[in-house]
Amino acid sequence: AHQWRGVLPEYADRLNISDATPIITLGEGGTPLIEAKALSARTGARVFVKYEGMNPTGSFKDRGMTMAISKAVEHGAKAVICASTGNTSASAAAYATHAGISAAVLIPEGKISMGKLSQAVAHNAEIIQIEGNFDDCLDIARDLAANYPVHLVNSVNPDRIEGQKTAAYEVVEVLQDAPDFHFVPVGNAGNYTAYFRGYSEELERGAATKLPRMFGFQAAGSAPIVLGHPVKNPETIASAIRIGNPASWEFALGARDTSNGYFGAIDDAGILAAQRILSAEVGIFVEPASAISVAGLLERAENGHIPSGSTVVLTVTGHGLKDPLWALKKADGTEIAPTVVPVSTEEVAGVLGLVKGASH
Ligand code: F0G
């Protein structure tokens, strides 16, 4: 039986690699594009979800990391470094370990989810918490890479974008064209940029007849692109996209203009409501940052900006198990706990409201 081989082998002829490039892969990519009937019913569009939580470390970062680590090893790097809100650090740690090199990760103190931190620990990264935010971490990581013998694997490294663009290839392969709209969460705007690049290549080689309109969404408390200026103290419960000065800002604006795209903001309550809709109505569990794609679609559709019958793809970037505690809270903040009963079939039936002997 055929096993998906990872994005470098699958797309070797379309990526910046050669026979000299070692292939460091954990089998990333090839993620499902899932038709979301409940979201189609809510919006009148035909909605598909690109479920990037299905990657080896649970986020889309693995697509870029297989490329960045493979190229780093090709160039003889023995150590890589990144700044991260969590997912990049988990991915860098896993791929560096797989390659037999070391990874150092800089994270904002107290601001990454326990799931992601535990991945970086499990994969044996050197973890340093900075008393600052992600933007401070990235400044230091860039400074270190410029002046010390460490290789930077943040998305300012073009190899990352090169790997991540493969997600757009996969969408076009399944839909046999680009969608009309593509929604992505935006932090550093690297992934927005990567999808735009992937779709542009598909258009150029004739696999797609159009570019999708690229719709990016930021958390309202961390929305520099929407506001048009950096945010000094970004805040949001969607810790993955708690970023005040995106590295790929300029490129993303170009991609927005070329694709007739859009950047919008969603507040934390809207993010959590969308996370719940996706998990409880579609059956896909994502971390809060990822749910902003869903929230963005609902907002745009509600305000009449999505013509009915449009094909829409939502990238959901990270698995729900990355940061699961939000799912256990109600909208008013109270904890959700399952009902406890004694060891008794009748008690369980009673709680479930089941009537003995009645038909199914
Ligand atoms: N969604 C998730 C789950 C993320 O982890 C990130 C970025 C994004 C969306 C935004 O992607 O930065 O390319 O616009 N996480 C980075 C990290 C910053 O360190 O893991 P972007």
pLDDT in tens, the chain (360 residues): 789 999 999 999 999 999 999 999 999 999 999 999 999 999 999 999 999 999 999 999 999 999 999 999 999 999 999 999 999 999 999 999 999 999 999 999 999 999 999 999 999 999 999 999 999 999 999 999 999 999 999 999 999 999 999 999 999 999 999 999 999 999 999 999 999 999 999 999 999 999 999 999 999 999 999 999 999 999 999 999 999 999 999 999 999 999 999 999 999 999 999 999 999 999 999 999 999 999 999 999 999 999 999 999 999 999 999 999 999 998 888 999 999 999 999 999 999 999 999 888
What is the pLDDT at residue 330? 86
Our answer on whether the CB atom of 188 is closer than 6 Å to any ligand 1 atom is yes
Q: Say how far apart CA 41 and CA 181 lie, in whole Å.
A: 17
What is the pLDDT at residue 58? 98
What is the pLDDT at residue 2? 87
Q: Say how far apart CA 327 and CA 273 lie, in whole Å.
A: 10
In the reported structure, the alpha carbon of residue 88 is separated from the centroid of ligand 1 by a whole-number distance in angstroms of 7
Our answer on whether the CB atom of 187 is closer than 6 Å to any ligand 1 atom is yes
Our answer on whether the CB atom of 241 is closer than 6 Å to any ligand 1 atom is yes
Contact 265, 226 (CB under 8 A): yes
DSSP state letter for 334: P
Q: Say how far apart CA 245 and CA 227 lie, in whole Å.
A: 11
What is the pLDDT at residue 258? 98
Residue 194 alpha carbon, nearest atom of ligand 1: 13
Test site for ligand 1: of 134, 237, 241, most ligand atoms within 8 A of the Cβ: 241
Q: Say how far apart CA 6 and CA 120 lie, in whole Å.
A: 21
Supply 262's token pair.
Answer: 């859009």
Supply 318's token pair.
Answer: 């990270």
Contact 81, 110 (CB under 8 A): no
Tell me the sheet residues that pair with 50.
33, 315
Nearest to 247 by CA among 309, 333, 186, 334: 186
The helices-and-strands tally (H runs, E runs) of the chain is 14, 10
Distances from the Cα of 289 to the Cαs of 5, 20, 101, 164, 267, in angstroms? Answer: 28, 37, 30, 18, 11
CATH architecture of 62-158: 3-Layer(aba) Sandwich (3.40)
What is the pLDDT at residue 353? 96
Question: Which CATH number among 3.30.300.30, 3.40.50.1100, 3.40.50.720, 3.40.50.2300 corresponds to the domain 7-59+160-328?
Answer: 3.40.50.1100
Nearest to 180 by CA among 251, 257, 252, 261: 261
Task: Please state at what angle helix 87-99 crosses helix 61-74, rounded to 10 degrees.
Answer: 40
Test site for ligand 1: of 52, 55, 57, 59, most ligand atoms within 8 A of the Cβ: 59
Q: Domain residue spans in the chain?
A: 7-59+160-328, 62-158
Our answer on whether the CB atom of 157 is closer than 6 Å to any ligand 1 atom is no
Our answer on whether the CB atom of 222 is closer than 6 Å to any ligand 1 atom is no
Q: Say how far apart CA 241 and CA 279 lie, in whole Å.
A: 20
What is the pLDDT at residue 42? 98
What is the pLDDT at residue 281? 98
What is the pLDDT at residue 333? 85
In the reported structure, the alpha carbon of residue 268 is separated from the centroid of ligand 1 by a whole-number distance in angstroms of 16
Q: Say how far apart CA 330 and CA 107 lie, in whole Å.
A: 29
